[in-house]
């Protein structure tokens, strides 16, 4: 508890400093860069109506309001190839003039980290504007005999069933996570979304599940109150330095690394944990990111980051953010940079380890 408190306070301080620093840098440049009368394309490599699209449509008008010259930002959906198509398009075509930005999600990060042959984009080339984190909570059915998270050890040796969207989807994080905890989980694939998975849990077809924070609060907490679900742990959040901490939305629940210690008695480390951690970061704390293309001049990056900082003070933003972002804050500047680096870099050994495991145990072949 105390740990959490000091971290968030430090985080908040760091954030404020970071923001001040970027803003200070941006001021002289802002006079030169202007998007007056321009239209900025915000490429979203997903169809309209999904999470990333909603996120983009929430941010677009607000960001436009605080960019110099008040440009119009339009959301352009370029779906296909599990978001690789739109991202490839951005990588190949976008000019570094600040008029094209890309919004990625965990589904864009994962194929990149796994080395999917369809990926022709390079995260390291891009300039990060902001990152939007998300979180989630894993829970089990009381039929497992677990009545609170302290009893997580009872799960050892039990047969658990999880409704998954696929081994290379965002559900790769629970797949790797459960494995690290030493749980015996049968992953049943082919679910269309976490909502579908929750339905299977409610029908009693599965006995372990997780939901992202807002869905958890709205749909699972009533189950917890009714005694038909028991929360285990949150996936956790990252502090300013990239260390795992409890999720500020669920301060009373242990985060994954605490659950790891509870289960295994060891400190969270080793290659298996590192592999999990890379995909966790790409899937949760750095889930949605906004990028400028390769070679964008620093002054354009600066005005964008400054606009994000300003946007977050807008009354409309404050009034509506909870519906879109949950209780998490979008970050820019240094904080975003940390998330971006952590969420898009993986060592070749770790990549190979995960890809080999997926191939051996789940028959996953990336590509043809």
Residues that bind another protein (CB under 8 A): 41, 47-50, 53-54, 57-58, 61, 74-82, 85, 118, 161, 166-168, 186, 188-190, 192-193, 195-196, 198-200, 202-203, 205-206, 214-215, 218-219, 222, 316, 320, 322-324, 362-365, 367-368
Cβ–Cβ contacts within 10 Å for residue 169, how many? Answer: 18
Check if the beta carbon of residue 188 is closer than 8 Å to that of residue 164.
yes
d(CA 57, CA 257) in angstroms, rounded, equals 34
CB-neighbour burial class of residue 243 (10 A; exposed 0-12, middle 13-18, buried 19+):
exposed
Least distance (Å) between residue 323 CB and another protein: 4
Give the nearer residue to another protein in terms of CB position, either 118 or 179.
Answer: 118
Least distance (Å) between residue 62 CB and another protein: 9
Q: Is 158 helix (H, G, I), strand (E, B) or coil?
A: coil
Check if the beta carbon of residue 129 is closer than 8 Å to that of residue 298.
no
**Which tokens sit at 209?**
């599940």
Give the nearer residue to another protein in terms of CB position, either 198 or 342.
Answer: 198
Least distance (Å) between residue 191 CB and another protein: 8
Give the nearer residue to another protein in terms of CB position, either 122 or 322.
Answer: 322
Least distance (Å) between residue 249 CB and another protein: 14
Give the nearer residue to another protein in terms of CB position, either 246 or 321.
Answer: 321
Least distance (Å) between residue 219 CB and another protein: 5
d(CA 294, CA 297) in angstroms, rounded, equals 9
Give the nearer residue to another protein in terms of CB position, either 171 or 240.
Answer: 171
Give the nearer residue to another protein in terms of CB position, either 153 or 204.
Answer: 204
Least distance (Å) between residue 117 CB and another protein: 9
- Show the DSSP H helices in the chain as ranges: 2-30, 51-66, 84-93, 106-114, 172-180, 194-202, 213-215, 221-226, 256-264, 271-283, 298-311, 315-325, 333-344, 348-362
Give the nearer residue to another protein in terms of CB position, either 348 or 367.
Answer: 367
Least distance (Å) between residue 107 CB and another protein: 13
CA of residue 247 relative to chain centroid, distance = 13
DSSP track, 86-145:
HHHHHHHH--TTSSEEEEE-HHHHHHHHHT-TT----GGGSEEEEEE---EEEEE-GGGS
């Amino acid at each position: 508890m105390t740990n959490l408190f000091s971290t968030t306070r430090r985080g908040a301080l760091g954030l404020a400093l970071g923001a001040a620093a970027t803003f200070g840098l941006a001021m002289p440049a802002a006079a030169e860069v202007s998007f007056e009368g321009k239209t900025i394309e915000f490429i979203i490599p997903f169809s309209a109506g999904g999470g990333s699209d909603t996120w983009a449509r929430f941010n677009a008008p607000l960001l436009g309001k605080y960019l110099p010259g008040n440009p119009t930002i339009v959301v352009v959906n370029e779906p296909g190839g599990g978001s690789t198509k739109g991202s490839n398009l951005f990588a190949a075509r976008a000019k570094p003039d600040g008029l094209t930005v890309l919004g990625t999600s965990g589904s864009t990060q994962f194929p990149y980290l796994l080395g999917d042959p369809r990926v022709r984009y390079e995260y390291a080339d891009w300039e990060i504007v902001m990152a939007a984190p998300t979180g989630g909570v894993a829970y089990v059915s009381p039929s497992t005999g677990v009545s609170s998270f302290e009893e997580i050890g009872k799960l050892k040796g039990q047969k658990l069933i999880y409704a998954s969207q696929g081994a290379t989807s965002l559900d790769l994080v629970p797949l790797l996570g459960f494995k690290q905890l030493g749980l015996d989980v049968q992953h049943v694939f082919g679910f269309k979304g976490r909502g579908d998975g929750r339905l299977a849990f409610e029908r009693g077809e599965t006995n372990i599940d997780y939901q992202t924070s807002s869905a958890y609060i709205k749909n699972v907490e009533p189950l917890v109150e009714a005694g038909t679900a028991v929360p285990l742990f949150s996936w956790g959040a990252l502090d300013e330095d990239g260390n795992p901490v409890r999720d500020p939305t669920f301060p009373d629940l242990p985060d994954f690394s605490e659950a790891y210690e509870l289960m295994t008695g060891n400190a969270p480390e080793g290659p298996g944990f590192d592999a999990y951690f890379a995909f966790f970061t790409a899937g949760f704390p750095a889930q949605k990111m906004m990028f400028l293309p390769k070679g964008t001049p620093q002054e354009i990056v600066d005005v964008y980051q400054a606009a994000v900082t300003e946007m977050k003070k807008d009354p409309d933003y404050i009034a509506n953010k909870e519906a879109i972002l949950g209780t998490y804050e979008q970050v820019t500047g240094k904080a975003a940079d940390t998330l971006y680096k952590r969420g898009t870099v993986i060592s070749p050994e770790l990549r190979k380890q995960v890809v080999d495991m997926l191939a051996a145990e789940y028959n996953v072949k990336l590509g043809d």
